[in-house]
Amino acid sequence: MTDVDPKARIAGVFDRAAPTYEQTGVEFFAPPGRALVARAGVRTGERVLDLGCGRGSVLFPAARAVGPTGAVVGVDFAPAMVAATAEAAKDLPWVRVTSGDAEFPEFPPGSFDVVTAGFMVFFLSDPAAAVARWAGLLRPGGRLALSTFAEATAAGQAFLADRAAALARFQTPDPATAGPSSASREWVAALFADADLTDVTMTEMTVETFFDTGERYWTWWLSIGSPHQLARVPAERRPAARAALTAVLDAHLRQPGGGYRMVTPMRLTVARRPD
Ligand SMILES: C[S@@+](CC[C@H](N)C(=O)[O-])C[C@H]1O[C@@H](n2cnc3c(N)ncnc32)[C@H](O)[C@@H]1O
């Protein structure tokens, strides 16, 4: 098996996902994006750094909150994400979208009022070290705001386990190694242990998503970076894999009146750089 640099692999997944990411008519990352900016208390005129900005679920609410007297910089390592978000922000001269590794952002110490990172900290090679580094980019009193997934309910866990098992029967093995679950409160709390940050608060929220057809679910699921899951299914096995997955969807998410309803628990964590 060839060793693939995990970062190059993740960047490739999101680069391929970028054209459709959060663009299939289903809002999934947008509600936590808006909520993260609100929880961070982003105000008119502030300077915000949005790490792993993707298609801008956090970046655009932040841009609205700071207005033209503020500044927002988005960083992502997937070139197609950077290109699409820069294009969408072209009429907002106070917004800049740039390519780079968000784990090692190159900005002067203390140069931001707020640093945000929506659903990306769990992709990093050393998330706790990154959080400590990000804290150094904040001015005294500045805020760091992260979103992550939260613990699934028993029903949610059963759905995710059955979905993974259905797919695993058809997939070639994944070279990535699974770490501890980033959906636990303890995992997130540990990220802040050695950072120069105080007043760590966590807020849980759920996002409810409705899909009128199974087809719409799959279009959405593939749009958020899951094509790499299907890429590991050999072409001749895809029809069977898809049928197995549809059965899982029917068993877990089907609603009596038709369609599928999914509820996803998420966590917003905000901390402050001491004054
Ligand atoms: C799940 S998406 C979230 C996008 C956006 N923050 C949101 O909430 O919708 C994760 C994003 O982080 C980016 N990303 C992950 N690791 C990164 C890194 N080390 N440097 C820069 N971008 C990274 C990916 O390319 C992807 O666009």
Kindly list the domain boundaries of the chain, sorted by start residue: 6-152+176-208+263-272
**Whole-number Å distance between alpha carbons of 199 and 211:** 38
- For residue 9, the model assigns a pLDDT of 86
Whole-number Å distance, alpha carbon 51 to ligand 1 midpoint, is 7
From CA 271, how far away is CA 78, in angstroms rounded? 27
Predicted local distance difference test score (pLDDT) of residue 1: 44
Q: How far apart are CA 52 and CA 156, in angstroms?
A: 26
> What are the per-10-residue average pLDDT scores of the chain (275 residues)?
75 90 90 98 98 98 98 98 98 98 97 98 95 98 97 91 86 62 92 95 96 84 72 80 86 93 96 97
- Which atom in ligand 1 lies closest to the alpha carbon of residue 30? 9
Sequence-distant (≥ 6) Cβ neighbours of residue 176 within 8 angstroms: 6, 9
174: number of Cβ within 10 Å: 11
Render the chain in DSSP notation, one character per residue: -----HHHHHHHHHHHHTTTTT-SS--SSHHHHHHHHHHTT--TT-EEEEET-TTSTTHHHHHHHH-TTSEEEEEES-HHHHHHHHHHTTT-TTEEEEES-TTS----TT-EEEEEEES-GGGSSSHHHHHHHHHTTEEEEEEEEEEEE-PPPHHHHHHHHHHHHHHHTTSPPP-SPP-S-TTSHHHHHHHTTTSS-EEEEEEEEEEEEEESSHHHHHHHHHHTTTHHHHHTS-GGGHHHHHHHHHHHHHHHHB-TTSSEEEEEEEEEEEEE---
Which amino acid, 240? A
**CATH number 3.40.109.10 is the correct assignment for the domain at 6-152+176-208+263-272:** no
Cβ of 78 below 6 Å from ligand 1: yes
- pLDDT value at residue 140: 98
The residue whose C-alpha atom lies closest to atom 23 belonging to ligand 1 is: 52
Mutate which of 48, 120, 122, 182 for ligand 1 pocket (most atoms within 8 A of beta carbon): 120
CB distance 103 to ligand 1 below 6 Å? yes
**SS3 string of 212-240?**
CCHHHHHHHHHHCCCHHHHHCCCHHHHHH
| Residue 54 pLDDT | 97
The half-sphere exposure of 118 on its side-chain side, counting CA atoms within 13 A, is 27
58 CB within 6 A, ligand 1? yes
